[in-house]
Structure 1
């Protein structure tokens, strides 16, 4: 038979410790669930990791400095598509441009895909604004179908005010396409 040798103050200290440790566990589980949306918000606000911005127009106008925007596409092996990126565009910073990616479904089934994107150099992400983009929604292609997928964008003239980016002459907008899993 076990004998309880703890005094009432020791029992109270143990209960208090158990309470705080339990609260810490609840906080850590909550933080784990909140981490992804908080990180996504952080990337959107700061452009961290090459995350681009979404805009409805360019209210700041043009500046004389030119920049070349190059385009890249990668397709995950689980998606039976080919995607041809748009040709590079060189223009004044601030000019609104529309380019077209072309996707082709190589399979004999209807396939839905989603594109994720990033911009390099990463520090330019906060200045890269998309007005319209196929990447905002899933794309569904019928068997053998080929579609044009436009992107309308501009580079914010505030890029020129960032001394760290004064030598940047090229930005690459890259998309990676993944199959949308219907069973998930």
Structure 2
């Protein structure tokens, strides 16, 4: 037997049956290999008869065994986790922007009434802002300051809660730079 594998006194690996080895032998025979297995019954001889009960069935309560075995340390009963608490907004989800700002200046947007702890995807004129997965704090509020150079005119910031799906938008007005 191969070294390192556990075997019982029959020489078979645990869980292996003669049927497993017969199937492997058939595959190898088709491939042209010759295998001789010890203690195989001679073709044409009667199959060995099973010894003892083959399927004793479930244990039933009796005076000696009052109840079937209850879950013990090997198989503890595990309760399913409680369902998540539903979240309801405390009011309208709002996104406020900086109003009017000059090119090259910072603009801060703030979100209110998003689900606490959820990730927020912020976009500018429909394009996601590079990796600003913001998170609402425990009071459902977040803010983000961005310095950038958009074209002069109106632009729209949109924020969407990635878990709750709530969404809010605000429009800002960009004026020419102050040089």
Q: TM-score when scaled to structure 2? A: 0.32
Tell which has more relative contact order, 1 or 2 (C-alpha 8 A, sep 6+): 1
More strand by share: 1
Structure 1 or 2, whichever has the larger Rg, is 2
Q: TM-score when scaled to structure 1? A: 0.32
